[in-house]
Amino acid sequence: MAPYIGTAVSRVDGVAKVTGAAKYAAEVNVPGLVYGSIVGATIAKGRITRIDAGAALDVHGVLTVLTHENRPRMANDDQTYKDDVAPEGSPFRPLYDDKIRFNGQPIALVVAETSEIARFAALLVRVEYDEAAHVTDVCRQRDAATPVKPPKDPMEAMFTPPKSRGDADRALAAATVRHEGEYYVPIEHHNPMELYAATAIVEGDGKLTVYDKTQGVQNVQRYVCGVFGLKPEDVRVMSPFVGGAFGSGLRPQFEVVLAVLAARALQRSVRVVLTRPQMYALGYRPAMIQRIALGANSGGALDAITHDAVTVTSQYEDFYRQETGWSGLLYTSTNAKYAHRLAHLDLPTSCDMRAPSAATAVYALESAMDELAVALKLDPVELRLRCYSDRDQHEDRPFSSKALRECYKQGAEAFGWSRLNPEPRSMRDGSDLVGWGMATGVWYAEQVPIAVRIGLSSNGHAEVACATSDIGTGTYTIMAQVAADMLGLPLDNISIKIADSSLPQSPVEGGSWIAASVSNGIAATAEAIRNELLRLVKQMPDSPLANVASAEVALADGKFVSKRDASRAVSITDAMRHGGVDRIEQEVTTNPSQDGSRAHNTHSAIFAEVKIDEQLGVIRVTRVVSAIAAGRILNTKTATSQILGGVVWGIGMALHEETLIDHKYGRIINANIAEYHVPVNADVHDIKVIFVDEPDEMINPLGVKGLGEIGIVGVPAAIANAIYHATGKRVRDLPITLDKLMR
Ligand code: MOS
């Protein structure tokens, strides 16, 4: 039996998805379901002085209008509202009190017999405010930004601001060649296809089943139990299918609070679906102002790096990630200085969005490196090779694996980089200017504790269960592949049960950590099943494998076979039947000991070609090659799709995406996907994904790193660098729209 791991297995949930059999949170139907529609605040800061729901309540079919004045009881302490991934601060509580913290904040829920009635009646709710002065412009708050406070509980690298080293200012002053620049990335929104929704089903006996769009069912379950004072056994949260979330579903969002609130108020099952504009109140990628200075000797060896960042959060929580230290993983420099401050705005708390911090910070770093290469008159790939670091500069430790050199090599070859004429404006295709640019990407290879249960039936069918989610990444499929290989069964004999809070423990699906964590979890659990099976095999009367050692038999095609003598074999169904066992079940929790002596990261090299109409400034990204080093690739098809999606998103970051706020009202003015631009098919051309070989025997038994986020990192810089090469004009704020290019 050929292994499934490492092959291009199609999604095991693909048919269910394309036929509509896969039910999302807003599609679960139960008898008597009623519908909630949210009323959002129209000011950015202040207090509600009066809510008049009279006209809404007069509409036939309206059941109730919930506000902070009449809602059921909710917890009243911050700690209870802190979910598993909450930042420091005082979490937002929907419909809790009269205080307005951001424009679009949910302040009432109209519940009616149909969603149309609810939505109509929501328009009739009259609200009066006592308005306070607000600030939503990061440029205005820049000077008032405060240094990030290192977390009380120093956790992963993801949250820890890097320590400065050496004397960067002095080294910078002494450098032969310097580049210093300021780079800007605006607020961006996740815009998953699926709208946020929760269906709260009243089961009787005080029990609730909640279908929610989330990246973490157990996180939501704990949160709902806390906020509403419910017992864990009375609340079950599920998210069997998620239509993209990209970080916006890591924390419990307000749709689930509102659905449960209404279900408790009415003792009826309630569905709440956000509108697209309401999705813009959930959280966003923080805007980022960055100053980077690089100092090098004439040979291109870096001697100084300073990276200074200002990012955006709300007035009530300090969301941030490690933003400034990416250079410390990529490039050797004796001296480095990092500073990160937070600007507090009257907006919702910012949140994780696909490769949080790396997508934005590596854009700036890799643009700055390109500018340094220009100043040094050095090929940008060559500059990166001269600064290449085999050690994590922050902790002065080697990597468990780092095949980035191979990414540069294979990416450059596939792209045809050797044919580059480095002179800006030197390459043309008819009336188009042609530009080539490249950049590096880097992300974490984290792992999390996780529990997996496998039940193997005597008919040779296995069920694999874990509370993790599949947010569209292909988790169902890689889980089935790993289980099939480890249990020696055909893929069709594996069923995957996930995204249900009653299943074995899993943290949120995020940070690119689930593929590595759950696949090794499955391997460990399958090993326990295998041991149990082998015990039964040996106990069989006249067993041909009575005396074999575990290492001397292979489990494949539903049989144990002696590695020395293939004629000695026992099928697992026979072994179980003889043993009088219908089902073997094992649950194993794996707690990957993060080996602190090594850094664990994924890397990439991205090469991009743009063609720019010289008269109109229209930019097309005509070719991208992304070469990825991410350990062992479990599924070449879903992995390629994951990276393709990241590259497309990188095109969006570079050229299209920007959340625009009317600062007078503190309101987002393009809260829809007509005016918030994302790449469409016409913007996407030739994209080639390469996975370089990167064996990693240290990181975990399967050598898996995960690649949910690496795909976007570096892409905006590669495109920005290509635009410079095409035009000779350096645009340092995203998105690079034609007005910026032409002025
Ligand atoms: Mo990812 S931004 O952790 O979904």
d(CA 140, ligand 1 centre) in Å: 29
d(CA 30, ligand 1 centre) in Å: 31
Sheet with 553-556, side-by-side order of all strands:
553-556, 559-562, 569-571
Q: What is the helix (H) or strand (E) element at residue 457, kind and residue range?
A: strand 450-457
Asked if 338 and 416 touch (Cβ cutoff 8 Å), the reply is no
Binned at pLDDT 50, 70 and 90, residue 595 comes out as confident
Of the residues 194, 446, 658, 709, which is catalytic?
A: 709
159: pLDDT strictly greater than 80: no
Binned at pLDDT 50, 70 and 90, residue 592 comes out as confident
Q: Please state, in angstroms and rounded to a whole number, the distance separating the CA atoms of residues 519 and 505.
A: 14
pLDDT digits (tens, 9 = 90+) for 269-328: 999 999 999 999 999 999 999 999 999 999 999 999 999 999 999 999 999 999 999 999
d(CA 709, ligand 1 centre) in Å: 7
Q: Please state, in angstroms and rounded to a whole number, the distance separating the CA atoms of residues 50 and 69.
A: 10
Ligand 1 nearest-atom number relative to CA 352: 2
252 CA to centre of own chain: 15
List the residue whose alpha carbon is closest to atom 4 of ligand 1.
247
**Token code pair at residue 439:** 């950049």
Distances (CA, A) of 139 to 144, 187, 220, 367: 10, 12, 35, 21
150: pLDDT strictly greater than 90: no
pLDDT digits (tens, 9 = 90+) for 494-551: 999 999 999 999 999 999 999 999 999 999 999 999 999 999 999 999 999 998 999 9
425: pLDDT strictly greater than 70: yes
Pairing relation of β-strands 34-40 and 270-273?
Answer: parallel
Asked if 85 and 513 touch (Cβ cutoff 8 Å), the reply is no
Mean pLDDT of 618-643: 98
156: pLDDT strictly greater than 80: no
Pairing relation of β-strands 559-562 and 569-571?
Answer: antiparallel
pLDDT digits (tens, 9 = 90+) for 163-180: 999 999 999 999 999 999
155: pLDDT strictly greater than 70: no
Q: Sign of the CA dihedral 97, 102, 108, 112?
A: negative
| The pLDDT of residue 101 | 98
d(CA 712, ligand 1 centre) in Å: 12
pLDDT digits (tens, 9 = 90+) for 75-103: 999 999 999 999 999 999 999 999 999 99
Ligand 1 nearest-atom number relative to CA 250: 4
d(CA 510, ligand 1 centre) in Å: 4
pLDDT digits (tens, 9 = 90+) for 668-693: 999 999 999 999 999 999 999 999 99
Pocket test for ligand 1, best of 250, 319, 357 (most atoms within 8 A of CB): 250
pLDDT digits (tens, 9 = 90+) for 632-668: 999 999 999 999 999 999 999 999 999 999 999 999 9
Ligand 1 nearest-atom number relative to CA 351: 2
d(CA 315, ligand 1 centre) in Å: 23
Binned at pLDDT 50, 70 and 90, residue 248 comes out as very high
709 is catalytic: yes
For 172, residues 6+ apart whose C-beta sits below 8 A from its C-beta are: 178, 293, 295, 303, 304, 306, 335
Asked if 436 and 725 touch (Cβ cutoff 8 Å), the reply is yes
Count of alpha carbons within 13 Å of 647, Cβ hemisphere only? 33
Pocket test for ligand 1, best of 709, 710, 713 (most atoms within 8 A of CB): 709
Sheet with 302-313, side-by-side order of all strands:
146-147, 335-344, 302-313, 288-296, 177-185
| The pLDDT of residue 157 | 67
d(CA 356, ligand 1 centre) in Å: 7
d(CA 708, ligand 1 centre) in Å: 8
Ligand 1 nearest-atom number relative to CA 355: 2
Ligand 1 binding pocket (C-beta < 6 A) is 215, 246-247, 250, 352-354, 356, 510-511
pLDDT digits (tens, 9 = 90+) for 180-235: 999 999 999 999 999 999 999 999 888 999 999 999 999 999 999 999 999 999 99
Ligand 1 nearest-atom number relative to CA 249: 4
The per-residue pLDDT of the chain, averaged, comes to 96
Q: Please state, in angstroms and rounded to a whole number, the distance separating the CA atoms of residues 328 and 343.
A: 24
d(CA 61, ligand 1 centre) in Å: 40
Q: How many CB atoms lie within 10 A of CB 305?
A: 32
Ligand 1 nearest-atom number relative to CA 215: 4
Three-state DSSP at 562 gives strand
Q: Please state, in angstroms and rounded to a whole number, the distance separating the CA atoms of residues 683 and 679.
A: 5
d(CA 353, ligand 1 centre) in Å: 6
| The pLDDT of residue 264 | 97
For 103, residues 6+ apart whose C-beta sits below 8 A from its C-beta are: 40, 41, 42, 43, 44, 281, 346, 665, 666, 667, 668
Asked if 360 and 321 touch (Cβ cutoff 8 Å), the reply is no
Mean pLDDT of 417-439: 98
